[in-house]
Amino acid sequence: MTSSQHAWSTKLGRWDSYYGVIFAAVLTIVWVTSSWPERWIGGAAMLAMIPWYLLVGRPMWAGGSCSSPRAATYIAGVFVLFAAANSQNPYAWFLGFALCPQFFYVASPRLAIWAASGLNLVGWLMLVVRVHDLLTAIVSLAVAAAGVSFSVTYGGWITRIIEQSRERADVIEQLEATRGELAAVSREAGMLAERQRLAGDIHDTIAQGFTSVIMLIQAAEGEIGSDPDGARRHLRLAAETARENLADARALVTALAPAQLDGGKIDDALRRLADQAADLGAATDVEVSGSPRPLDTAAEVMLLRVSQEALANVRKHSGARQAQIRLSYAPDSVRLEICDNGMGFDPAATNGGYGLRGMRARVGEAGGQLTVRSAPGEGTSVSVEVPA
């Protein structure tokens, strides 16, 4: 629906019927009550209104808008034919009930009011000229005034409805345009969120995995001569980590769950992370309390990624020799805590790197809360609580 269309444009058939019924009734009255010359002249003038309406007036009405010259031309033609019919029989005045509403469809409100008033005035003057009776003139003047009042009231009502319809059409157009803009913004936001998610996944899996592989290989190089068995153990763990890293990369491509969770529970995945951290120099224990139960995949992925990032920070930054992972199941939530005995830091003095921001974002998306507690020389505690 465009702004040039309104409710009346969809109801042309009804108004055609209304106009046709009044036209047929008035034509019948004029034909029956007129003598031979007036009957044919008045009837011809009325019949001429049919093509004038169909070819000139109705197209303007159907189009929903028209220019002032075209409207004035149509109204002038109606006046001429109406005056011709009314000059032969005063009952032709009743055509005003069909003609006056048309003025408000094809012309501006001001022009339509003047035209409706003028049409009733013409009908009154024709009657006065034919009758020459004061009482009839007074009564007919009152009828004309009533007709004008009706036309003004009716026309104002029509105009308000048409304007409201056009305003609604404009609002609909604006809403459709806004909806298109919002859809574009939503797509862009979705793309940005997906890029951020992939960046976080790559940072928490592939990048951390490569770091672990490098550290394991370096540890193996230092033990090749002094402890061949230890070197082989580190190399086996490096190979296992590389395979998990490859599986994580494939999982990212196919949007599957992390390889550590494939076919297992979050508890088992955390224990494997603890084994890797212990082989890299930070002895890590896993403690599970409460009644373990399956969690939503998204929640398990979030807990695993937070644990990976927290343990990576333990290895790279804390200098800790010992860490602990605690997983607690409560009736309506799950709490994860990773603690270490490292050098600690002042959380107020730093806003964290990408890893901490990534953890907060992941936890927030899962509807949980992340808390970091630390102080210089007192170790670090990262805790996550998520509804479950």
Q: What is the pLDDT of residue 325?
A: 93
Strand 380-387 and strand 369-374: the pairing is antiparallel
Query: Taking a C-beta distance cutoff of 8 angstroms, is the pair 95, 9 a contact?
Result: no
Residue-wise pLDDT for 160-199, tens only, equals 776 777 788 788 888 888 877 776 776 676 567 667 766 7
The verdict on residue 202 lying in a domain is no
Which of 177, 203, 235 corresponds to the end of one domain?
A: 177
Return the pLDDT at 329. 92
- Does some domain include residue 185? no
Helix (H) or strand (E) holding 180: helix 134-201
The answer to whether the beta carbons of residues 326 and 372 sit under 8 Å apart is no
Distance, CA of 250 to CA of 278 (rounded, Å): 26
What local confidence, expressed as pLDDT, does residue 260 receive? 62
Nearest to residue 297, comparing CAs of 328, 321, 246, 262? 262
Q: Which residues of the chain have pLDDT under 50?
A: 1-8, 255-256
Q: In angstroms, rounded to a whole number, what is the distance separating the alpha carbons of residues 103 and 146? A: 17
| Whether 300 and 157 share a structural domain | no
Number of domains in the chain: 2
Q: Is residue 191 part of a domain?
A: no
DSSP state of 341: -
Structural domain of residue 329, as residue ranges?
266-388
Structural tokens at position 34: 């007129």
Tokens of 354: 């990408």
Q: What is the distance between the alpha carbons of residues 119 and 94, in angstroms, rounded to a whole number?
A: 11
Residue 138 sits in the same domain as residue 279:
no
| Predicted pLDDT at 385 | 92
Do 272 and 161 have their domain in common?
Answer: no
What are the tens digits of pLDDT across the range 93-141? 888 888 887 887 787 777 888 888 888 888 887 777 777 677 766 777 7
Residue 205: what pLDDT?
67
Spatial distance between the Cα atoms of 196 and 360, rounded to a whole number of angstroms: 13
What's the whole-model pTM score?
0.41
What the block records as the tokens of 201 is: 């996944």
Residues 6+ apart with CB under 8 A from 55: none
> 200 in a domain, yes or no?
no
pLDDT at res. 251: 62
Question: How far apart are the C-alpha atoms of 246 and 240, rounded to whole Å?
Answer: 10
Three-class SS of residue 372? strand
Q: Of 128, 160, 177, which marks where a domain is finished?
A: 177
Residue whose pair of structure tokens reads 């990212």 in the numeric block: 252
Q: How high is the pLDDT of residue 310?
A: 86
CATH number of the CATH domain containing 348: 3.30.565.10
The SS3 of residue 386 is strand
Q: What does the pLDDT read at residue 314?
A: 83
Number of Cβ within a 10 Å radius of residue 184: 10
